[in-house]
């Protein structure tokens, strides 16, 4: 089966995707800045009796490290079929609370991390004439999401990057998809602004998010959606159904989507 790389694979969406890949018989390299977590995931996946898994430490903000790892995987296995540029962090807070540290960290990981993955994988896939690049963005990359605009800005950029690259790559045998999930029950919800100056939304935001969306989507369900989207070669993989509804509403009435976002801001400010 396929040879795959998953960044941010120690938890959440990355771990669920890696599991789905191994379950179908792929060989998966689980990467994460948390090398212990990535190793634990790979060890567990190797007990499933289907595909295979290995782990590697990877800081996606380090372009040289990303390039070296992707090339090493290609050299070891002879090809690189699937790349999931998935690693990311959660940034939350009002615009006036944002520091340049918030902006730079979001750009370095959420945007440059994807850029580095594309820069490393795309030439390999062009040379072999096949492959699929899957970038993780967010519903925040399709609709206006306040109270975390560094995050929103980077996710819009990932959507634009992915769709533009898809158009370029189509006639070269390389596929490109972008994943735009709504709220998913992952550690990102409980680690907002990790290692950054605190804002009114720092720390564990899961309980606040659940007030707006009581039933959070699971990483496993999203992984199923992603695998189905890959099989269909979908440009945009938007999930769950509530996320697709929000996306449709944005396209139908941008002004209405903005009013909804403004209401959410007023509600948050009234609770401060």
**Domain of residue 183, CATH code:** 3.40.50.720
pLDDT, one tens digit per residue, over 104-148 is 999 999 999 999 999 999 999 999 999 999 999 999 999 988 999
Q: Determine phi and psi for 205, rounding to 5 degrees.
A: -105, 5
Tell me the whole-structure pTM to 2 decimals: 0.94
Band of pLDDT at residue 267, cut at 50, 70 and 90: confident
Domain count along the chain:
1
- From the candidates 70, 122, 151, 217, give the one annotated as an active-site residue: 151
- Our answer to whether residue 122 is catalytic in this structure is no
Structural domain span for residue 172 = 3-271
Angle (CA) 29 31 34, round 5°? 145
Closest CA to 147 of 93, 208, 89: 93
190 close to 206: Cβ distance less than 8 angstroms: yes
Dump strand ranges (E) for the chain: 3-6, 27-32, 52-57, 82-85, 131-136, 174-181, 236-239
- Range with the poorest average pLDDT among 52-66, 157-171, 241-255: 241-255
């Amino acid at each position: 089966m396929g040879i795959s790389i998953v960044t941010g694979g120690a938890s959440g969406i990355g771990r669920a995707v890696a599991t789905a890949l191994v379950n179908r018989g792929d060989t998966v390299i689980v990467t994460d800045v948390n090398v212990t977590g990535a190793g634990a995931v790979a060890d567990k996946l190797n007990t499933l009796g289907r595909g295979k898994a290995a782990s590697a430490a990877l800081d996606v903000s380090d372009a040289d490290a990303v390039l070296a790892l992707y090339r090493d995987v290609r050299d070891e296995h002879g090809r690189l079929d699937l790349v999931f540029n998935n690693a990311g962090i959660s940034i939350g807070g009002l615009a006036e609370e944002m520091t340049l540290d918030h902006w730079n960290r979001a750009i370095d990981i959420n945007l440059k991390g994807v850029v580095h993955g594309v820069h490393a994988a795309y030439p390999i896939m062009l040379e072999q004439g096949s492959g699929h690049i899957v970038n993780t963005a967010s519903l925040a990359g399709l609709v206006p999401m306040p109270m975390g605009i560094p995050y929103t800005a980077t996710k819009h950029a990932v959507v634009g990057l992915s769709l533009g690259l898809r158009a370029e790559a189509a006639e070269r045998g390389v596929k490109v998809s972008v994943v735009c999930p709504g709220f998913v029950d992952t550690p990102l919800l409980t680690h907002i602004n990790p290692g950054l100056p605190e804002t009114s939304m720092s720390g564990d935001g899961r309980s606040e998010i659940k007030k707006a969306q009581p039933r959070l989507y699971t990483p496993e369900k999203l992984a199923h959606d992603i695998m189905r989207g890959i099989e269909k070669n979908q440009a945009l993989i938007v999930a769950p159904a509530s996320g697709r509804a929000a996306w449709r509403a944005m396209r139908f009435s941008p002004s209405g989507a903005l009013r909804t976002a403004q209401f959410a801001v007023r509600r948050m400010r009234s609770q401060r």
